Structure 1
Amino acid sequence: MNYIKKMLGHTQSPPRVAMAEIFWSWIGSFLGIAVVGLIHFKLLDRTALVMIIGSFGASAVLVYGAIRSPLAQPRNLIGGHMLSAAIGVTAFQLMGSLPWLSAALAVSTAIAVMHLTRTLHPPGGATALIAVIGGDAVHQLGYLYILIPAGLGAVVMLIVALLVNNLAPGRRYPEFWL
């Protein structure tokens, strides 16, 4: 019975977020994703937009919407994406003929390594998974995937987060670097 009770939760929902917080979260996420997309569009391929990987949407939620979370800090953002990208590429290269196994290996290993390195960033799990299931455009990047899109995109989002999150008087980012 205690096992079932655990699933019922034990606290109330969090309080509403102030409109100013919503505004700054929107501005930051808009600019962060837009700049990553613009860099890709201007410097790389104008069609595939490989640099905008899905995990950056989840990173935007953290670094612009939950800026005090340990999971949103620079160490976690950059380390989580880059380590997970390396793990995902390696998993695909080792086990790509079994994509279901390669995907499971990539995500679970990325979580373990992020824990070990204190870089836990939930979107990193998606970055590892995208390295496996991202298709030919991603697979052709090989280990370059670690730098572009994972590393460069995360750095761009961090720069935007530093600029935007510190504009509002009540916001401060980051909480820590290392």
Structure 2
Amino acid sequence: MISRSASLLPQAARGHLGWLRGAIGGAIGIVTAGALTMILLGSNARGFPLLVAPMGASAVLVFAVPASPLAQPWSVIGGNLLSAGIGLAIGHALGQPMIAGGIAVGLAIACMSLARCLHPPGGACALLCALGAAGPEAWGWSYLWPIALNVGALAGAGWLYNNLTEHPWPHRVIVPAGPPPAPALDYTHADIEAVLADWNEVLDVDVDDLDAFYRALQRHVVRRQRGGQARD
């Protein structure tokens, strides 16, 4: 009961000042996105937003949890742009902000899932664009420009910053070197996928990461056993 209740509590910050790395990266990413958008839009900048709110959520994923499947480049770029286009299309077609917003978000989730670019801020992009297109300002397709520039600049900043701070992005699974894993359990990727299917839950972790974690765990157990119980 205690462990179940504890799972409802906020997660503690992990790593040595890992929170600071993510915070600095997020700030750099947002400033870069706004500045680059302003420069590239030039004289047209006054007619468009220089920053769209969903980029704040994307920055959290890209800089704070860059290993997440939801934070990979294709998810960030494809998820946001695909959802923004869906939002504009539905907003123009229906003209009713509330209905258009709901349908746009639902359709964006479906399309991102099928395109393998699921990205939570994409839902916000779909809602924002549906409301803008169906509202009094009647956003046109030209509003994709500042969103695309925001997304591209944020992804570029994420690639540079994460790799410079030793967090490879796109994320690559690295299995630590060490003693061979204990032969107690022979499994395959298909076994891991079968267990996840049995759970019927969407976990924010890739199958390759689960495999790498278990293999590293096996190596750790082997080293501990070889070193004696005094190391427990």
Fold agreement, TM-score > 0.5: yes
Q: Residue 73 of structure 1 contacts residue 174 of structure 1 at CA under 8 Å; is this kept in 2?
A: yes
Q: Residue 24 of structure 1 contacts residue 164 of structure 1 at CA under 8 Å; is this kept in 2?
A: no
Larger radius of gyration: 2
The percent of aligned pairs where both chains have the same amino acid is 35
- Given candidates 163, 186, 198, the residue that maps to 1:166 is 163
3-state SS, counterpart of residue 39 of structure 2: helix
Q: Residue 85 of structure 1 contacts residue 145 of structure 1 at CA under 8 Å; is this kept in 2?
A: no
Structural mapping, 1:1-178, within 5 Å = 11=7, 14-44=11-41, 50-96=49-95, 98-134=96-132, 139-140=138-139, 142-146=140-144, 148-169=145-166, 171-175=167-171
Normalised TM-score (structure 2): 0.64
Q: Per-residue displacement from partner, 1:131-174 (whole Å, max 9, x unpaired)?
A: 1223566x34x22333x1222211111110111111223x2211
User: How far apart are the structure 1 equivalents of 2:13 and 2:26?
Assistant: 19
User: How far apart are the structure 2 equivalents of 1:173 and 1:42?
Assistant: 26
3-state SS, counterpart of residue 17 of structure 2: helix
Q: Residue 84 of structure 2 contacts residue 122 of structure 2 at CA under 8 Å; is this kept in 1?
A: yes
Change (3 A) 1:61 1:104: same
User: How far apart are the structure 2 equivalents of 1:18 and 1:67?
Assistant: 14
Q: Residue 166 of structure 1 contacts residue 172 of structure 1 at CA under 8 Å; is this kept in 2?
A: yes
Q: Residue 37 of structure 2 contacts residue 149 of structure 2 at CA under 8 Å; is this kept in 1?
A: no
Structure 1: runs of 5 or more not aligned: none
Q: Per-residue displacement from partner, 1:56-112 (whole Å, max 9, x unpaired)?
A: 00000000011111000001000001110110010011011x111111111110011
User: How far apart are the structure 2 equivalents of 1:136 and 1:52?
Assistant: 20
Normalised TM-score (structure 1): 0.81
3-state SS, counterpart of residue 50 of structure 2: coil
Q: Residue 25 of structure 2 contacts residue 63 of structure 2 at CA under 8 Å; is this kept in 1?
A: yes
Between the two structures, name the one with larger relative contact order (CA 8 Å, sep ≥ 6).
1
Q: Which amino acid aligns with 1:50?
A: P
User: How far apart are the structure 1 equivalents of 2:136 and 2:30?
Assistant: 23
May I ask how many residue pairs the two structures share in their alignment? 165
Structure 2: runs of 5 or more not aligned: 173-232
